[in-house]
A and B are shown apart, each in its own frame.
Chain A
Amino acid sequence: MALNHTRRVAALSGALAVALTAAACSSGDGGGAAGGDTEASQIDCAPYEAFGDLQGKTVTVYTSITAPEDGPHIASYRPFEDCTGVTITYEGSKEFEAQLPVRVQGGNAPDIAYLPQPGLLQTMVATGKVVPAPPETEANVDANMPDFKEYGTVDGTFYAAPLGANVKSFVWYSPSAFADAGYEVPTTWAELTALSDKIVADNPDGAVKPWCAGIESGDATGWPATDWVEDVMLRTAGAETYDAWVNHEIPFNDPAVAEALAEVGRILKNPEYVNGGYGDVKTIATTSFQDAGQPILDGSCLMHRQASFYAANWPEGTDVSENGEVWAFYLPAMTADERPVLGGGEFTAAFADRPEVKAFQTYLSSVEWADERAKTCGGGGCVTANTNADPNLLTNPIDKLSAEQLTDENATFRFDGSDLMPGAVGAGTFWKGMTDWIIGQDDKATLDFIESSWPS
């Protein structure tokens, strides 16, 4: 779970870096440069004056986002600093997930930490050091991101306001390759399967395959396959059964999960469908998730299911846009009317209840911050969980597409299940089970193995 996220953040950060470079090249007056000499936006100070005179106070923030990607984050605090006189001390660490528990237990907790997974929030709350969110923050969350609120809640107490967000229900493809071959973007699961079959039929020599995938990620090997299962589970079993599964109200080897896994297997374990550009089914286990989608560029693979943050993995100069070299379509549901969306995000937990900390926490949950984040972002990876943020401020095409998915009224959003499950499963046996499944273990043995590891 923890490592899983580190990689995602790294990917996001990469997206930022690329996007920043792109912004720097394309516009002289973009005003999006992070931490530069651009004028910080003016915001209404009234909400923060209620916390008293905060002039000269300091709030420490601890995250997993390090230089140079931390620049845009630091820049997004400026309006708050300007109007309250509070200094925000930012600290990013690549060892965040390992260090945070040590610092908290050692009595050296930061004022605010960005927690990448609800599971980690639960662990932190169990230490007794996390302070519940102030009512002002909670009001912001109720107004701006009600869907995410439950993930920041532990045992009925609301602790952590949602911050950034990403969308996982995407299939990367090449619009130009689709156009050349006359393929249409599928809108239902049946169309997706039909398209896969058509691609197989069109390429009898097997040089081009419909799908490519890769789940190798060092210590975290297996996580991309868990995302597959979660995404398909939302489609075959529905959101309610999905919730029951994540909360272990139904066993991990329930028939509903078995059906979803079988459906994933019809794609990932189908030697005709995979693994474009890499070889047979087993190569999925040894192909890194960063490399996995790359064969789309040379045409040996046509589709790759991966989250919005995969945008960072395309080589520099790749045209990522609706009619460009690569783009993403929504992983279709069973019917065109349903719209389940799988996603992830991070949460702000406070370890101190000083007024300036509460004020800053409230700022981070406000529309003003979300807008400022988009403005100082300059490019990609700046989507927030805030549904009232102005989507037009986002400049990166994939950010826009992600924001559309997140704010779509018909969409049913669900958080990444493995991030919600106990770490032993969500960042342990689920990953291992899926890895063994890819290299040949059957469905039943895989699900039984994971079920037996669920902590009682």
Chain B
Amino acid sequence: MTRVISAVPVGIIPEPLLRAQSTGGKLLLMVFAIILFAVVFGLVLAFASLFKGRNGEKVQGALFALPAVALLAVGLVYPALRTVNLSFRGRTADGPYSLDNYVTMFTSPELLVVLRNTAIWVVLVPFLATAVGLLYAILIDRARGEAFAKALIFLPMSISMVGAGIIWKFVYEYKQTSRPQTGLLNGVLKLFGLETRQWLLDAPLNTLMLIVVMVWIQAGFAMTVLSAAIKAIPDDIIEAARLDGVSGFRMFRYITLPSIRPAVVVVLTTIGIATMKIFDIVRTMTAGNFDTSVVAFEFYNQIFRFNAPGVGAALAVLLFVLVIPVVAYNVVQMRKEA
């Protein structure tokens, strides 16, 4: 805590305040921080007001952007550059510069499994979640009880990933076939006279079982956005298509889908980004064991548990590189839409 605070000019805040442990002390610290914020803000405003005229406006704009840019530089740009730097300095990130960590990442069997899993996640989750959401949105569109049906599939969105992980861990719980079942899925298997099985143990099935959880959460998001897009399709287009004798699947293929294409892309990429950084579900349900680890979880593991910050940094850089094109595409699409 104190370390974070010391990133801002420590001299301004009285030393005893930084050590605040009691509730009163912490409140005082908060009040002090707010005052500090107000003072900085006031100074920027006062300083900016000194500049007048057309050129003055440019200076004012720059001044207003300055605090945000400074914070981004300290909080985002510097750590990113440092991570890239560390990733080239060997396993413990304090050696000479080399490509060792990247070689390790693409050659060690444990990490190749991690990359494979991430690929499975990134390919399956966005398409499955979008497909389920889209199908659902079309099925319930203008049906009776639409609001209720929407709420049903949207509810999982309000559960945290950790909560969802715990819920599904119970669903997958294993007991020998001969014993009373506590896991829903195995309970159903037993009901049909089948052998119960360990859903979270055998790779790569276990990764698919984890993906189901993510799809369960994200389908609600896809459904909401796509449903709104479907409703925004002008009635006259649909009318015209009807008159031309289009219906059913052809209506979907030639009218609905092209009309909502920008929304579909945004949904796909947004879920794609969320999937690349998936961490909570894996950590909660298998703790990365049994070959289920993914890049975002493994870099945490490498840094904080295996004391290999260099390898962790390399994984983080890989994630960064993978995410950039998706984010860029997402931004371009959103601009087009706007």
By a CB distance below 8 angstroms, the chain A residues around B305 are: 423-424, 427-428
Within 8 A of A (CB), among B125-181: 174-176
A455 and B3 contact, Cβ closer than 8 Å, known pairs A283-B198, A285-B289, A427-B305: no
By a CB distance below 8 angstroms, the chain A residues around B21 are: 108
> Can you name 15 extra interface pairs (CB under 8 A) apart from A282-B198, A282-B201, A424-B308?
A102-B1, A108-B19, A108-B21, A221-B289, A278-B175, A279-B174, A279-B175, A283-B198, A285-B289, A286-B200, A422-B307, A427-B305, A435-B289, A439-B201, A455-B92
- In the bound complex, how far is the Cα of B308 from the Cα of A106, in angstroms? 24
Which A residues lie at the B interface, using CB under 8 A? 102-103, 105-108, 218-219, 221-222, 278-279, 282-283, 285-286, 422-424, 427-429, 432, 435-436, 439, 449, 453, 455
Interface of B is mostly: loop
By a CB distance below 8 angstroms, the chain B residues around A285 are: 201, 289-290
Closest to B291 in A: A436
- In the bound complex, how far is the Cα of B21 from the Cα of A106, in angstroms? 13
On whether the beta carbons of B174 and A286 are closer than 8 Å, the reply is yes
Q: Does B287 contact A (CB under 8 A)?
A: yes
On whether the beta carbons of B3 and A432 are closer than 8 Å, the reply is no
By a CB distance below 8 angstroms, the chain A residues around B1 are: 102, 106
The residue from A222, A423, A432 contacting B307, defined by CB atoms under 8 A apart: A423
- In the bound complex, how far is the Cα of B305 from the Cα of A219, in angstroms? 10
Q: A106 to nearest B CB, angstroms?
A: 3
By a CB distance below 8 angstroms, the chain A residues around B301 are: 428
Please, could you name 16 A-B residue pairs with CB atoms under 8 Å apart, sorted by A? A102-B2, A102-B3, A105-B3, A106-B1, A106-B2, A219-B283, A221-B287, A221-B289, A283-B176, A285-B290, A424-B307, A428-B307, A432-B289, A439-B201, A453-B308, A455-B307
By a CB distance below 8 angstroms, the chain B residues around A222 are: 289
Q: A109 to nearest B CB, angstroms?
A: 11
Closest to B288 in A: A432
Q: B105 to nearest A CB, angstroms?
A: 15
- In the bound complex, how far is the Cα of B204 from the Cα of A10, in angstroms? 34
- In the bound complex, how far is the Cα of B6 from the Cα of A105, in angstroms? 12
Closest to B3 in A: A106
On whether the beta carbons of B289 and A424 are closer than 8 Å, the reply is no
Within 8 A of A (CB), among B75-121: 92, 110
Closest to A91 in B: B21
Within 8 A of A (CB), among B195-237: 198, 200-201
Q: Does B306 contact A (CB under 8 A)?
A: yes
By a CB distance below 8 angstroms, the chain B residues around A435 are: 289-290
On whether the beta carbons of A286 and B2 are closer than 8 Å, the reply is no
Q: A348 to nearest B CB, angstroms?
A: 21
- In the bound complex, how far is the Cα of B6 from the Cα of A14, in angstroms? 39
By a CB distance below 8 angstroms, the chain A residues around B283 are: 219
Which B residues lie at the A interface, using CB under 8 A? 1-3, 6, 19, 21, 92, 110, 174-176, 198, 200-201, 283, 287, 289-290, 301, 305-308
By a CB distance below 8 angstroms, the chain B residues around A219 are: 283, 287
By a CB distance below 8 angstroms, the chain A residues around B308 are: 424, 453
Closest to A455 in B: B307
By a CB distance below 8 angstroms, the chain B residues around A221 are: 287, 289
Q: A301 to nearest B CB, angstroms?
A: 12
- In the bound complex, how far is the Cα of B1 from the Cα of A320, in angstroms? 44
Closest to B307 in A: A424
By a CB distance below 8 angstroms, the chain A residues around B200 are: 286
On whether the beta carbons of A439 and B92 are closer than 8 Å, the reply is no
- In the bound complex, how far is the Cα of B3 from the Cα of A286, in angstroms? 39
Q: A221 to nearest B CB, angstroms?
A: 5
Q: B187 to nearest A CB, angstroms?
A: 16
The residue from A278, A424, A432, A449 contacting B176, defined by CB atoms under 8 A apart: A278
Q: A203 to nearest B CB, angstroms?
A: 14
By a CB distance below 8 angstroms, the chain A residues around B19 are: 107-108
- In the bound complex, how far is the Cα of B75 from the Cα of A296, in angstroms? 54
| Leading 7 A-B pairs by shortest Cβ distance | A106-B2, A424-B307, A428-B305, A428-B306, A279-B176, A424-B306, A435-B289
The residue from B6, B92, B174, B290 contacting A283, defined by CB atoms under 8 A apart: B174
Closest to A453 in B: B306
On whether the beta carbons of A108 and B306 are closer than 8 Å, the reply is no
- In the bound complex, how far is the Cα of B290 from the Cα of A286, in angstroms? 10
- In the bound complex, how far is the Cα of B6 from the Cα of A218, in angstroms? 34
Q: B167 to nearest A CB, angstroms?
A: 16
- In the bound complex, how far is the Cα of B109 from the Cα of A449, in angstroms? 10
By a CB distance below 8 angstroms, the chain B residues around A283 are: 174, 176, 198
- In the bound complex, how far is the Cα of B19 from the Cα of A121, in angstroms? 24
By a CB distance below 8 angstroms, the chain A residues around B201 are: 282, 285-286, 439
By a CB distance below 8 angstroms, the chain B residues around A427 are: 305
The residue from B2, B3, B174, B306 contacting A429, defined by CB atoms under 8 A apart: B306
- In the bound complex, how far is the Cα of B305 from the Cα of A428, in angstroms? 5
Q: A123 to nearest B CB, angstroms?
A: 10
By a CB distance below 8 angstroms, the chain B residues around A423 are: 305, 307
- In the bound complex, how far is the Cα of B301 from the Cα of A429, in angstroms? 10
The residue from A103, A279, A439 contacting B290, defined by CB atoms under 8 A apart: A439
User: Which of A424, A435, A455 has the most C-beta atoms of chain B within 10 angstroms of its own C-beta?
Assistant: A424
By a CB distance below 8 angstroms, the chain B residues around A429 are: 306
- In the bound complex, how far is the Cα of B287 from the Cα of A427, in angstroms? 13
Q: A120 to nearest B CB, angstroms?
A: 13
- In the bound complex, how far is the Cα of B290 from the Cα of A9, in angstroms? 27
Q: A386 to nearest B CB, angstroms?
A: 32
- In the bound complex, how far is the Cα of B93 from the Cα of A455, in angstroms? 12
- In the bound complex, how far is the Cα of B201 from the Cα of A270, in angstroms? 19
User: Which of A221, A279, A422, A449 has the most C-beta atoms of chain B within 10 angstroms of its own C-beta?
Assistant: A279
- In the bound complex, how far is the Cα of B6 from the Cα of A422, in angstroms? 30
Q: A229 to nearest B CB, angstroms?
A: 18
Closest to B15 in A: A107
By a CB distance below 8 angstroms, the chain B residues around A106 are: 1-3, 6
The residue from B2, B175, B289 contacting A108, defined by CB atoms under 8 A apart: B2
Closest to B203 in A: A439
- In the bound complex, how far is the Cα of B203 from the Cα of A282, in angstroms? 13
- In the bound complex, how far is the Cα of B308 from the Cα of A368, in angstroms? 44
- In the bound complex, how far is the Cα of B200 from the Cα of A279, in angstroms? 15
